[in-house]
Amino acid sequence: MPDDLTTTELLRCNKCGYCQSTCPTYAVTLNEAQVARGRNALAAALAEGDMESLEALRGPFFDCLLCGACTEACFSSVRTDEVMVRAREAFHAQHGQPFVQRFIFRRLLGHPERLAALLRLAGTGKRTGLARLFRRLGLLRWINATLEGAEGLVETVPRRFLRDRLKRIGFRRHRTGRGYELVLSRAPEAPLGPRVAYFLGCGTNFQEPDSGEAAIRLLARAGCEVVALPNVCCGLPPYSYGDMAAARELARTNLDLLRSTDAEYIVTDCGSCSRFLKGYVDLLSEEPEVAETAGRVRDWTEILAEHPLPPPVRPWEGIVTYHDPCHLGRGQGITEAPRKLLTQAAGATLVELPEADWCCGGAGSYNLSHPEMSLAILRRKLNNIARTGAKTVATACPACLIQLSYGLRQEESPVQVRHVAEIVAHAQGLDSLGD
């Protein structure tokens, strides 16, 4: 395991323990094995040969949410999330990677059409397809979740995925020197904005297409010409599980595509995707033009901060509170833009959420792999939401949307969860076109 990054990061951990103040898994376990300092101590013991690669290390290494809260609290800014990714890679090398995990990362994520077909198949019937799919694929053993838990997590699979709705949204095929492109023209009344390439994240495409539709139409309203990219998964899921090879392969596929687009910006409405895409510069540092390409990546809220929308035609009613997705807020420092969109473009009354940047426990597929821990972490978030008196929780990441909706549904709470884009689109008079 010891590579340069791990060595330098671990050396800088002074064991002060300040990460205890922000680590969500520590807050619910109060166990040294579940805090960045402890995880780093174990990684260091492993690296220095003071400890064998025990199966028992699975818990400390894989229970980390990779939320990055420890790094923020750390005087030395030790990047425990990166250390954990490498520790997971080493752990797999020793103990083997589960077959199903490997199959999904290497055979499905690089082929959105295969994933779509499978999900579509499973989504018919009672539309509780994700769980059925998992059951059929024997995935539940891997994710160690109860069937009820997984079924409860996502209520339905959308009838049509975002990629299938592009035509209805108004995308048209344009022929260019590089082949065909799907392009959505800027709104006729809008000022002249940049040409942006829209990166369809898996979560948005397969689970939260309404928010993607809203984000795309808002970009057009703000004056952007939007090109839909035929991208694959950004690579974050395999990266998180320590499957570096799969992550790099997906990233390389995307990088080829992104390099070739002439769009001024590459945009996505998933905070995790936008952060990981920006990180290609480190992941694929040996690739040509990677810095320039990754440098064009923006979260969609960044674009709308520079190309403002007109005032709302029907301001959002009821109090709204905003949950900062880890990879958007802490990961990219984007906290103001989504709040401004809510108060200005949607005219909403925003009440600040206590501990708004505390992880909700969603963390990609963490809620599937760690149902109990995830739920314990979620409870703190739900209590904070209740304290605001908000009718709507806004956020800007599909994983957070799924997790928060799940928690509020479990509590039978009347509070609804919406992507910022949906709230703004509604206030701007853009009704969902439906699926």
Partner 1 sequence: MPHPYTPLPPLALEELRRAVGVGRFLTDPLARHLYSYDGALDREPAAAVALPETTDEVASLVGICARHRVPFVPRGAGTSLSGGPIPAPGSLLISLTRMNRVLAIHPADLCAVVQPGLVNLDLQKRLEPLGLFYAPDPSSQLVSTLGGNLGHNAGGAHCLKYGVTANHLLAAEVVTPEGEVMPIGGLGADLPGYNLLGLYAGSEGTLGIVTEMTVRLTPLPEATSTALVIFDSLADASAAVADIIARGLVPAALEMMDHPLLEAVERTFEAGYPLDAAAVLLIDVDGPPAALAPQMAAIRAICADHQAREFHQADDPGERARLWRGRKGTAAAIANLAPGKISTDVSVPRDQLPEMLARMTSLAESYGLVIGNILHAGDGNLHPQIIFDPRDADEMRRVFAAQGEVIEAALSLGGSMTGEHGVGTEKRKYMPLMFSAEELALMGRVKQAFDPAGLCNPGKLLPDELGEPGPELPLPVGSFTHAAETVAVRDAAGRLTPYDYEAMAKLLALATREGQPVQLTSRPTERGPRQACEGREAISTLGLHSVLGVDAANATVTAQAGVRVAELQAALAEVGQWWPVLPPGGKEATLGSVLASGRSGPLALLYGRLADRVTGVRLALPTGEIVRFGVSCVKNVAGYALERLLVGSQGTLAAILEVVLRTVAIPPSVCTQAWYVPTETQAQELGRRLLLQPVRPAGLEVLNPAGAKALGLALGESGWLLVAAWHGLAEEVEAGAGAGQAAATALNLETVATPASTWDTVAALPSADDDAVALELSCPPSRCLDVLAAAQEVMRGRGAAVLAASPGLGNVRVGLPRSEGDSLGPVLDLLLTLTRTRGGSIRPLPPGHGLPLDSAPAPLVALTRRLKAAWDPVGILPSLTDLHY
- For residue 405, what are its two tokens? 């909706």
61 alpha carbon, distance to own chain's centre: 20
208 residue type, one letter: E
Our CB check for partner 1 shows the closer of 95 and 167 to be 95
Strand partners, 175: 180
Site string for partner 1, 77-116 (x = CB under 8 A): x---------------------------------------
Site string for partner 1, 45-74 (x = CB under 8 A): x---xxxx-x-xx--x--------------
Cα–Cα distances in angstroms (integers) from residue 145 to residues 34, 95, 241, in the given order: 20, 21, 17
Give the Cα separation of 123 and 132 in Å (integer): 8
Least Å distance, CB 366 to partner 1, is 21
Please state the closest distance from residue 30 (CB atom) to partner 1, in A: 4
Question: Residue 404 is encoded by which pair of tokens?
Answer: 């928060």
- As a whole number of angstroms, the distance between CA 350 and CA 388 comes to 10
Using CB under 8 A, pick the residue from 28, 36, 42, 220 that binds partner 1.
42
User: Site for partner 1 (CB under 8 A): which residue of 2, 18, 103, 295?
Assistant: 18
Of 3, 11, 146, 285, which one interacts with partner 1 (CB under 8 A)?
A: 11
CA angle at 12 for the pair 6 and 17, rounded to the nearest 5°: 110
Residue of the chain from 3, 75, 94, 336 that contacts partner 1 (CB under 8 A): 75
Q: Which residues is 416 bridged to in the sheet?
A: 392
Contact range with partner 1 by CB under 8 A, out of 34-42, 174-182, 192-200, 404-412? 34-42
The residue among 35 and 162 lying less far from partner 1, judged by its C-beta, is: 35
Cβ nearer to partner 1, comparing 135 with 379: 379
Binding mask 241-280 for partner 1 (x = CB under 8 A): ----------------------------------------
User: Could you tell me where the beta strands, DSSP code E, fall in 274-385?
Assistant: 297-299, 319-322, 349-350
The H-or-E segment that residue 16 falls in is none
Nearest to 386 by CA among 421, 410, 414, 349: 414
Residues 6+ apart with CB under 8 A from 59: 33
Q: Which is nearer to partner 1, 60 or 235 (CB)?
A: 60
The answer to whether 180 contacts partner 1 (rule: CB under 8 A) is no
In the complex, which residues of this chain contact partner 1 (CB under 8 A)? 11-12, 14-18, 20-21, 30-33, 38, 41-42, 45, 49-52, 54, 56-57, 60, 75-77
